[in-house]
Amino acid sequence: MGASRQFVDSFGFSWQAVEITRQAATVEGLMTDSWLYFLSRGTTRCLRTFPDDWFAMNWTGLEDLCTRAEVVGTDAGSRPVRAFSERLRAATG
């Protein structure tokens, strides 16, 4: 496991951002894949393409990356996970 960082989004939810790196030997040599995972209150999001300096970003920048990440898991059962934009509309609605 790589770098890890906590932040709070604009709705007050606490998130843990974790970079996961995997190395594999291929015919061409050593290959490295990285993913940035966001974990919060039973929701897991994953981002395949992210800036190398994500660890130094402010909370707003991390929230932006989290918003772009794909939801890959939730413990909410069949209840859908609302996107940040949907929560914003509901909060300001």
Boundaries of every domain in the chain: 4-92
What pLDDT is attached to residue 78?
42
Which pair of structure tokens corresponds to residue 8?
A: 């709070």
- For residue 90, the surrounding DSSP H or E stretch is helix 84-92
pLDDT of residue 74: 77
Q: Which of 12, 78, 74, 76 is nearest to 39 (CA)?
A: 74
Q: How many CB atoms lie within 10 A of CB 87?
A: 14
Residues 34, 2 contacting (CB under 8 angstroms): yes
How would you class 15 by CB atoms within 10 Å of its CB: exposed for 0-12, middle for 13-18, buried for 19 or more?
Answer: buried
Write down the mean pLDDT value for the chain. 83
Residues 11-65: pLDDT tens digits?
A: 999 999 999 988 887 778 888 889 999 999 889 999 999 999 999 999 999 999 9
